[in-house]
Structure 1
Amino acid sequence: MPSSILKKILVIDDDSITRKALVKILNNAGYEIFEADNGNLAINMFKIHTPDLILLDVVMPGMNGYEVCAKLRLLIDYHNLPILMLTGLTDAESVNKAFNAGATDYITKPINWTLLEQRVRYAIRATDMHRSLQTNKAKLEQAQHIAKIGYWEIQLDSNEVVCSSELMQLLNLNKSLNNRPIEKFLKMVHPDDFDRLQKTFINSINNAKPFQIEHRIIRNDGKEMHVQQQTEIIFDINNNPISIIGTLQDISEIKSAKDLISYQQYYDSLTDLPNRKSFMVHSKNVIDGPDHRNEIIVTCLIGVDKLKIINETLGHDAADEVILAYTQRLKTLNSGNNIYISRYKDDSFALLATAIMDYLQVNDLITQITALSKKPIWLGEHEIHISTSIGLSLFPLDNDDFDIILKGAENALNRARDNGGAQAVYYSEKMNRKARARMDIERDIRKGLERDEFVIYYQPQIDIHSGLVSGMEALVRWMHPVKGIILPPAFISVAEESGLIKQLGNVVLRKSCQQTAVWNRRGLGGLRVGVNLSPKQLLNKDFQNEVVSAIKDSGLPPSLLDLEITESMAVKNIKNVIASLKQFQDIGVTISMDDFGTGYSALSYIRQLPINIIKIDRSFVKDIGAGDDGSIAKAVIAMAHSLGKTVIAEGVETEVQLDFMFENGCEEIQGFYFSQPLPADEFEKFVIQHNTLQTRQHSN
């Protein structure tokens, strides 16, 4: 530990296994640990123990991590308490939500135990540095009042200077400047600041106006001092200026403190390179600067491959040494002063190269970068061989917007790494067009929600024994004013990524409940409507209220609303999903597991989940009767029945498939054999005609 006094850490996680693991690891690292399994207890323990750092789980029953973090921030500010959020949610919205609540950083689940101690140590160290800086700043402000200010006076008729003893000490002068011409005083000014200060003095004397200026002074002992001067003009009884009185304040420490703060904001403490923020500012200024005609500007991201392995095998100190050694090699590239290098992330660097005239020079740059990793790095007895993945994006060839240029370089770097690393990949305009197309879709979705362009189609679900329509699955369609009907695969992923899925899902939920309630009031036979959920909807704390509101406003009985989740959704968030689903079952809502069999859930998981219906995925149905004996579908039906669940088979398209499901006890079927998804008016006609026909056949 960096200090003999134990640092205190409060671990907040409702998962006892994760919490105990965190406590054990951090205890072994020399920290004093306190633990809490809920938000209210955590806040009380914080008030009692005043920890130096908090590890906080995001998803907890009752008060979630975001709420706990926000309440803690009301008790202590951002800089004096690092809060590291533990989360399995890595999308941009969840990360932004953590930081908006006041989180210092976040650690993704599953937790990388090797890196955990390092992240904790650096967070505590940064807080200690901030506190130390604030303390020094307070001391500096106090010292300025009593020992860092001197005064002087210039008589305008004689141009002579009179100064105080404090000023003499400040300037390290043994003899007084009293009654010396102002030129003697100005000789102490730093040569680079002399002309500016002299002009300021002359303008002040000629115009009888005070001034304030910062500049440097070279003392007799050769020490450079940053000073601030403030002046006032003294007038005689006839309002004529007779002298200038000024104060000279040593602001060297303040200047150093500001420089330190600026350094921490814009530089990486390990490598002494500009950080990502600096790179963004510098690059935008360059690209938005003067005309770059006939010039290529290269944005290059360089990732050190397999740094994680070095960290896990030799420790984070060894990984830091590798980064430092590679940093020194990168700095050798900037011989022509046209390359700006920064540390972009823990394992990657960013490089902006200007004055590149053609592709040959770009290839030369790649060759130089690649050559930097050919020689091994020695760490004591260990010979470390590294490789690098390189992602490049070119201005203006790929785009003229730096944000898109940078995103292109990131995409190219990811492709290089996905392909095995140790290679350079260019960003292509094709990928850029995809990015723009995605932005267009997101924009159109927002407009479509405002204009009510999303409608619901319904695919019938048939009771296999009575032959009657028992329910339907609600499927959203986008009636685009230009492109016509757009099916979900073209826009659902964008809605998920952008966070619009919550608003879209609520539209589908409300419209489906309202329409189903109308049909049931018309006597169509107690139809049940299945509504597909996204993970963001299900785990949203406000979603239960939205469901209750939709049921209440529509008048639909809760049992006739079927919320459909996917197998993969359930397994990834099993604990939180179970808690959410139980809330819905408590109010009488039906729960289905959609696409069953396509994921990887164990039987033990299925037993835990509070579900009523299991839907066999169409992939296990489509080949029955065409070489597939249906053994998987048969096994799913048997398993579901053993657990007391109803079974719906999706994708039934042939009579052979229908007979198979009947023979094996499947309760309901859904598929093109009976109907494709239909708009509301056509669905209503289908139900009336189908049920009428079935009733006649049974009566005969």
Structure 2
Amino acid sequence: MNLGKEIYGKIQGRKIEDFLEKIANNINDYVIVVWAGDGTILEFREIGDKILGYLPEQVEGKKWIDVFIDEKEKEEMEWVYRKLLNNEQVRYYVNPVKDVNGIKKIFLWYNSRIESSEDDEKVFISIGFSLDEIERLNKKIQRYEREFSKINEQSESLKFKISKQDLVLKQKDEIIKDYKSKIEFLAFFDELTKLPNKNSLIRWLNLRVSNVEKGNIYLIFLELRNLEKLNVMYGYDIVDELIVQISRKLEDILSKEDKLFKIGFDRFAIICKIESISEYIENLLAKLAVVYNINGNLIRVNYNIGATLIDDTNDSTTSILRKCDLALIKSKEKGLNEYEIFKPSLEVQTLKEGIIEKELRNGMDLNEFILLYQPIINLRNRQIYGLEVLLRWHYLKSVYISPLEFIPIAEKCGLIVDLGKIVLKQSVESAKVFNSYFNEEFVISVNISPRQFVDKEFITSIIEILENEKIKNLKLQFEITEKVAIENINYTIEVINQLKNYGITFALDDFGVDYSSLNYLRKLPIEAVKIDKSFVQEIENEETYFVVETIIRLCKKLGLKIVGEGVETENQYKILNQLGCDYVQGYFISKPLSFEEILIKLQNKEIFRGTDMVK
């Protein structure tokens, strides 16, 4: 190697091989890099296994930083260069390097400077040890230490049985000891941001809880939302850099007294002493609401925050972390960029939800879930157009529990999909009976939950139930909310079109509450729109009247049927009729009735309010 030989010729009184033997003869696998002051690699050797895989000719004559160092680590490596060139000691440091396949590997580097006596040329030698190899050796040393402690004065005869290499390992473990300090750093600090990690937070809390100061000391969890999606959109390197920038932003925002931790892939923790925690958090969220420029990609991040007061010496670290987690979970239920401060009622609510979840599972096994049916009236002919199915929990066969109590919990714990199957199966079975009492227009209307709608087995489970029951002329109508419909509009359109083949139509429920966009209303292949009861119950108000009138006109133009929900008075009934609404339902017509109650009315040909006759 010509470039290396020119400089080696100027180095007097030292052989690199001898130098290396003194430093590294206790490690089987390592990398040797000899480089000039400008970063040019003069000589490259791999001893033992080819842990990086480069041939000398692939790297010699090139700059170290261009061959081994990833773009985002170059700044740190240049800092190391400057230190070494300025005669400052950087004897050991840990950093990732790329192997011949571009895969990052973590190395512990030992650095030493070699100077020429003639013209003060600077040459450096760096020896890199794979952390995996060092860990193996560290364990080996510990094993020998245990063995040596058991050997008595007669152990001299046994020393010959121990290899020379192992004895040298025992004598020269300074590199390993130094590595232990690096391991401790990695154990208590986040490798990406260099911030204290979750272990550091727990250690701090353990000390703090045992000797808690008086004052408003809070633990805050800050979660970055949807980082997984950003990974897919931009790649891991971009998201890693984004996290680093956010950590720097947080360091700029927080005071010197505040403590910042990186405790997970998408989560930071903050410990602060503050009088008004709400004001503190709102200020934090406001300052974080910026657009980050990562290599030309403009990225905005959403957050959620949970916080708890650290004020009880009897409170364990586990309890404090749990309280903060509960507050964070509650803030995520509110939506993006929201926060929640822990209060005891959150624990009560969590306990309550846990009990309800357990009883839900028992109730499903014991067939405690039943259906009620609310009539939907056709305002043109004043006959029953259909029945909306409403799920009720007949707990212990004695009391009815409102869906407002158990549906959100069923959504959370994933039971809503199984409940949906129960509803559909019972609805189809009841339709066998009801069909004989009504004309061809009659429909059974079933609410579909958001979780159920996006379930990968949604379509197949419905088809399986329909094919098993084999009901002729069955008309099912599924009700989905606006939010569910447009969250993935292409998926929604695909589902609706597939289920059309099985006689299933769709209605948009609670229309007017969320988006009410003419564009998506035009795109969706739905059959009906259900005006939310909040509009119906305020229809006597002039502004609300105008809104309802506009909705009805719009739907008429698009060829959609219109259902007015929540009709409770005769006047509401009459106004909707005058505005041209097609169908109505609500307590003015009838409260939800059991299967048996509906059947008795049909058999006795009883007239529902708002109808002339059943059939």
- The bucket for the TM-score relative to the shorter chain is 0.5 to 0.7
Contact 1:448–1:454, Cα closer than 8 Å, also in 2 = yes
Aligned to 1:3: none
**Counterpart pick for 2:409 among 469, 494, 503:** 494
Output the CA distance in 2 between the equivalents of 1:398 and 1:689. 67
Aligned to 1:467: 382
1:272 correspondence with 2:199: no
1:607 correspondence with 2:506: no
Change (3 A) 1:327 1:669: closer
Aligned to 2:449: 534
Q: Cα offset for 1:412? A: 5.2
Question: For residue 202 of structure 1, what is the amino acid of its counterpart?
Answer: N
Q: Cα offset for 1:283? A: 8.0
Aligned to 1:199: 149
Aligned to 1:29: none
Change (3 A) 1:654 1:138: closer
Output the CA distance in 1 between the equivalents of 2:574 and 2:517. 29
Contact 2:212–2:313, Cα closer than 8 Å, also in 1 = no
Q: Cα offset for 1:499? A: 1.9
Alignment of 1:574-613 (within 5 A): 574-613=489-528
Contact 1:568–1:601, Cα closer than 8 Å, also in 2 = no
Output the CA distance in 1 between the equivalents of 2:314 and 2:341. 10
Question: For residue 200 of structure 1, what is the amino acid of its counterpart?
Answer: K
Aligned to 1:511: 426
Change (3 A) 1:272 1:577: same
Aligned to 1:439: 354
Aligned to 1:455: 370
Aligned to 1:50: none
- Report SS of the residue matched to 1:529: strand
Contact 1:473–1:530, Cα closer than 8 Å, also in 2 = yes
Output the CA distance in 1 between the equivalents of 2:530 and 2:188. 54
Q: Cα offset for 1:681? A: 0.8
- Report SS of the residue matched to 1:478: strand
Change (3 A) 1:279 1:457: farther
Q: Cα offset for 1:637? A: 1.9
Aligned to 2:76: none
Aligned to 1:59: none
Output the CA distance in 1 between the equivalents of 2:587 and 2:510. 17
Alignment of 1:183-332 (within 5 A): 199-202=149-152, 245-247=161-163, 248-249=165-166, 250=169, 267-276=189-198, 278=199, 300-301=219-220, 319-323=246-250, 329=256
Change (3 A) 1:405 1:582: farther
- Report SS of the residue matched to 2:588: coil
Change (3 A) 1:349 1:632: closer
Question: For residue 509 of structure 1, what is the amino acid of its counterpart?
Answer: L
Q: Cα offset for 1:663? A: 3.1
Change (3 A) 1:262 1:532: farther
Contact 2:376–2:583, Cα closer than 8 Å, also in 1 = yes
Contact 2:537–2:567, Cα closer than 8 Å, also in 1 = yes
Alignment of 1:298-697 (within 5 A): 300-301=219-220, 319-323=246-250, 329=256, 342-344=261-263, 349-350=268-269, 391-394=307-310, 402=318, 405-410=320-325, 427-481=342-396, 484-520=399-435, 522-525=436-439, 527-557=442-472, 560-625=475-540, 630-690=545-605
Change (3 A) 1:415 1:585: closer
Contact 1:442–1:494, Cα closer than 8 Å, also in 2 = yes
Q: Cα offset for 1:592? A: 0.7
Output the CA distance in 2 between the equivalents of 1:612 and 1:262. 64
1:25-57 CA distance string (max 9 Å, x none) = xxxxxxxxxxxxxxxxxxxxxxxxxxxxxxxxx
Aligned to 1:379: none
Change (3 A) 1:557 1:637: farther
**Number of equivalences:** 450
Output the CA distance in 2 between the equivalents of 1:282 and 1:545. 51
Report which stretch shifted further, 684-693 or 606-615.
684-693
Give ranges in structure 2 of 5+ residues lacking alignment. Answer: 1-95, 109-127, 228-237, 288-304
Output the CA distance in 1 between the equivalents of 2:386 and 2:149. 88
- Report SS of the residue matched to 1:460: strand
Q: Cα offset for 1:202? A: 2.1
Contact 2:383–2:612, Cα closer than 8 Å, also in 1 = no
Change (3 A) 1:280 1:438: farther
Output the CA distance in 1 between the equivalents of 2:154 and 2:375. 89
Question: For residue 432 of structure 2, what is the amino acid of its counterpart?
Answer: A
Contact 1:393–1:406, Cα closer than 8 Å, also in 2 = no
Contact 1:398–1:405, Cα closer than 8 Å, also in 2 = no
TM-score (norm 1): 0.52
Change (3 A) 1:532 1:425: closer
Output the CA distance in 2 between the equivalents of 1:699 and 1:133. 82
Change (3 A) 1:552 1:300: same
Output the CA distance in 2 between the equivalents of 1:665 and 1:461. 16
Contact 2:392–2:403, Cα closer than 8 Å, also in 1 = yes
Output the CA distance in 2 between the equivalents of 1:579 and 1:671. 32
Aligned to 1:180: none
Change (3 A) 1:487 1:579: same
Contact 1:133–1:257, Cα closer than 8 Å, also in 2 = no
Contact 1:344–1:350, Cα closer than 8 Å, also in 2 = yes
Output the CA distance in 2 between the equivalents of 1:413 and 1:699. 53
Output the CA distance in 2 between the equivalents of 1:429 and 1:699. 53
Output the CA distance in 2 between the equivalents of 1:283 and 1:442. 35
Aligned to 2:113: none
Alignment of 1:22-101 (within 5 A): none
Q: Cα offset for 1:645? A: 1.4
- Report SS of the residue matched to 1:245: coil
Output the CA distance in 1 between the equivalents of 2:154 and 2:219. 51
Output the CA distance in 2 between the equivalents of 1:640 and 1:416. 37
1:647-668 CA distance string (max 9 Å, x none) = 2211122233323333333222
Output the CA distance in 2 between the equivalents of 1:696 and 1:132. 78
Q: Cα offset for 1:303? A: 5.5
Contact 1:140–1:254, Cα closer than 8 Å, also in 2 = no
Change (3 A) 1:436 1:416: closer
- Report SS of the residue matched to 1:432: helix
Question: For residue 621 of structure 1, what is the amino acid of its counterpart?
Answer: V
Q: Cα offset for 1:296? A: 9.7
Change (3 A) 1:438 1:299: farther
Output the CA distance in 2 between the equivalents of 1:204 and 1:304. 61
Output the CA distance in 2 between the equivalents of 1:699 and 1:508. 25
1:211-234 CA distance string (max 9 Å, x none) = xxxxxxxxxxxxxxxxxxxx9x97
Output the CA distance in 2 between the equivalents of 1:675 and 1:575. 37
Output the CA distance in 2 between the equivalents of 1:629 and 1:321. 49
Identity of aligned residues (%): 24
Q: Cα offset for 1:673? A: 1.5
Contact 1:271–1:324, Cα closer than 8 Å, also in 2 = no
Alignment of 1:154-193 (within 5 A): none
Change (3 A) 1:577 1:352: same
Q: Over aligned residue pairs, what C-alpha RMSD do you find?
A: 5.4
TM-score (norm 2): 0.59
1:426-474 CA distance string (max 9 Å, x none) = 6321222222222222222222222222111111112223322221111
Question: For residue 557 of structure 2, what is the amino acid of its counterpart?
Answer: S
Change (3 A) 1:628 1:299: closer
